[in-house]
Structure 1
Amino acid sequence: MADTFTFQPMLTCIGNKRKLIPHIHEIADQIKTRLQKPRLTIMDAFTGSGVVIRGLIDLCDRVYTNDLENYAHLMSRCFLETPSATAQSRIAHHIERMNQFAESGPYKLDGPISRLYAPQNTDDIKVGERCFYTRENALIIDTLRQYVADAVEPELVPYLLVPLLVKASIHTNTAGVFKGFYKDGEVGCFGGKARNALSRILKPIRVEMPVWTTQQLESVQCFCGDSNQVIRDLAPKDIDIIYLDPPYNQHPYGSNYFMLNVIIDNQEPVALSRVSGIPTNWNKSNYNSRKTAIAAMRDLLADSLAKAKYVVLSYNNEGIIEEADWVQIFEPYIVEKREIEYDTFKGSRNLQDRSDKVMEIMYIITAKLVVVP
């Protein structure tokens, strides 16, 4: 695995599997041996930051990705659709120009991020001002986003927009999600009362050149939609492995990372929540509610195994689909179970009661052979 490609600067999001890449890679490599194939066709159906499919790229000849969120879709396009040498030269030029604007302006003063999500003065935050970014970084985000809109060739937009999204997810006054920002009492405060992580939060944003794989791929297809429907529309048995990493709790990615879609849209949302400014039209997933998750999962596995030889499903012991549910869901299939313990993310307030360790469960699933009498 090429670490500089797999672990390049990426979206910081809860549930990304960077620590589990060696385990997932080992499972996929074992499946490759079982299938006696030199390369695999793999789909990552809930791609998120894209770190899993990048970590598997050395095993692939064809790749499919999907995510409900536009920011994740653009991440896949940026990192997996390798541009030509000429295009890479243009991208490098734009990266240099963007960092020049970030360093010395002129800055866009009326963009949505500086208007809605940062104080007017970094050193004098007022009651009621949102405080996701320093004033300076908010101006940089708006300015670079406008540069992408005005100066970047349409076919190169993902390669310049994603580096900005990545840094906007890092240099933010949060512990990893955008449901709220650090405060001291009732007033926004960089790093909160304890002034945590100030070097990360206050660091001026600069964008970096994406890193692409040297692996020669036959094809890459990146979808943006509901995974159940996208998989249902694929050709039968065209895929070796579908990797599934669905949301496992009630905290939706659509609202947790709304800021990235606001940056993509580059305009003020029509309607927002009062405190955090979350747009009211964020995407809702069936996997965030127990009422819908079990039926959705049952359908997803049936559709996936109509299109793939293997499903590798990642879930954990805190999920809203419980052990007894899995027994029923898995009844039609052959299932191998692997358990991996790792440290829990506890950065945001609503996660403080989590255990220090969480058990990630990897299910390797195949269809049962039907014996015709």
Structure 2
Amino acid sequence: MRYIGNKENILENIYSILQSNEVKGKTFFDFFAGTTNVGRFFKLKGLQVFSSDILYLSYCLQKAYIENNKEPKFENLLKNLPEQESESLFQSPLEIVANYLSSLEGVEGFIYKNYTPAGTKNLSQPRMYFIDENGKKIDAIRQQIENWKNEDLISETEYFILLACLIETIGFYSNIAGVYAAFHKTWDFRALRPLELRTIKFIDNHQKNIVYNDDSMNLLDKVNVDILYLDPPYNERQYAPNYHILETIAKYDEPELRGVTGMRDYASQKSRFCNPNTALEDLDKIAKNTKYKNLVLSYNSEGIMPSEKIIETLKQYGPVKLEQFEYARFKSNNNGLARTKKTVYEQLYILKREG
């Protein structure tokens, strides 16, 4: 999944640095879960993982990837699905369900009506997030998942697994540069393909992993871990508007929309880490009020919090070390300075808690 700040390609580097600095333990809290790639990585390493994010789309991914440890069986649902022709005799239950959902006839639902050219032909600039047929297919799949839940044909875990599959699939058929704050005015080749639901993979760490859909600042008194990992926004751009369509597909709540891009209201999902002053205030609250042995702040050399201010804030609570390495910048940020500067530095501020 394309996501600003996604750590997927640099997690081994981060892990190596943490190991060399003796940042180890059995419990890990991913404070800004996002795509869950960080949580999944440390889950695969065998740690008990806790995670949280204010976005519901992230919560769906957390429920499927982090909290859940098992492949879904879909025992109730499969008894009620029609027989399907299959190219493989060894399909998993999830693959069977995904293929059925992919075969559904499209419907003219909320996504079609608001994010496809035909659905928005009355606008001066019709929205071109999805081709018409894929918009209808997204609606059909999303409505069917909800119907199965309401009919008690799928469990809560199976519900979130199917939502995660849909969320992960959308990016492969979206007519965007990387985020959903804008759409291309001509069609990207990926967006022209007929949508087929992709399945996700599972990790069993034999642990009771716990996830939250909350502002993580509300959870400080619930945290007591060996490793507290913070990966906040680096700049003044809020995450919620960049992923508004995925949030709407996840919730399927038919929100009021505004603007050329059909943005949902995100006033309740703004992060104080998108302001340099409030970011430092919250960083201090986290470092002071949370129980942890190691705090790791994963930041960016172009972030809005100055490095010296970060160190000054954290060192009140123990010795702080800054480690950094160079890596290729996220493509959707390739404007302005990024046209000439192709790399940035990932910064790891490591705080060993004293007292």
Residue 355 of structure 2 corresponds to residue 366 of structure 1 = no
Structure 1 counterpart of 2:106, one-letter code: Y
Q: 1:1-373 maps to which residues of 2 (within 5 A)?
A: 11-30=1-20, 40-82=26-68, 84=70, 87=73, 92-93=92-93, 95-103=95-103, 105-109=104-108, 111-120=109-118, 127-152=124-149, 153-155=154-156, 156-183=158-185, 189-191=186-188, 198=189, 200-217=190-207, 219-230=208-219, 232-234=220-222, 238-270=224-256, 272-282=257-267, 283-304=269-290, 307-332=291-316, 333-347=318-332, 351-354=335-338, 355-369=341-355
Q: Tell me: CA distance 1:303–1:203, structure 2 relative to 1, closer, same or farther (3 Å).
A: farther
User: C-alpha deviations, 1:86-107, integer Å up to 9, x for none?
Assistant: 636669546534433434x322
Q: Tell me: CA distance 1:135–1:101, structure 2 relative to 1, closer, same or farther (3 Å).
A: same
TM-score, reference length from structure 2: 0.86
Rounded Cα–Cα distance in structure 2 between residues aligned with 1:295 and 1:224: 22
Aligned residues between the structures:
332
Does the CA contact (< 8 Å) of 1:112 and 1:267 recur in 2?
no
Q: Report deviation, 1:337.
A: 1.3
TM-score, reference length from structure 1: 0.82
Q: Tell me: CA distance 1:94–1:125, structure 2 relative to 1, closer, same or farther (3 Å).
A: farther
Q: Tell me: CA distance 1:102–1:126, structure 2 relative to 1, closer, same or farther (3 Å).
A: farther
Q: Tell me: CA distance 1:159–1:34, structure 2 relative to 1, closer, same or farther (3 Å).
A: closer
Does the CA contact (< 8 Å) of 2:53 and 2:213 recur in 1?
yes
Rounded Cα–Cα distance in structure 1 between residues aligned with 2:322 and 2:210: 29
Does the CA contact (< 8 Å) of 2:326 and 2:346 recur in 1?
yes
Rounded Cα–Cα distance in structure 2 between residues aligned with 1:128 and 1:158: 34
Structure 2 counterpart of 1:149, one-letter code: E
Q: Tell me: CA distance 1:339–1:287, structure 2 relative to 1, closer, same or farther (3 Å).
A: same
* Structure 2 runs not aligned, ≥5 long: 79-91
Rounded Cα–Cα distance in structure 1 between residues aligned with 2:42 and 2:96: 30
Q: Tell me: CA distance 1:27–1:327, structure 2 relative to 1, closer, same or farther (3 Å).
A: closer
User: C-alpha deviations, 1:222-276, integer Å up to 9, x for none?
Assistant: 011111221x2215xx311011101111111111001111112224212x22211
- Identity, in percent, stands at 26
Does the CA contact (< 8 Å) of 2:106 and 2:138 recur in 1?
no
TM-align CA RMSD:
2.5
Q: Report deviation, 1:129.
A: 0.7
Rounded Cα–Cα distance in structure 2 between residues aligned with 1:363 and 1:158: 34
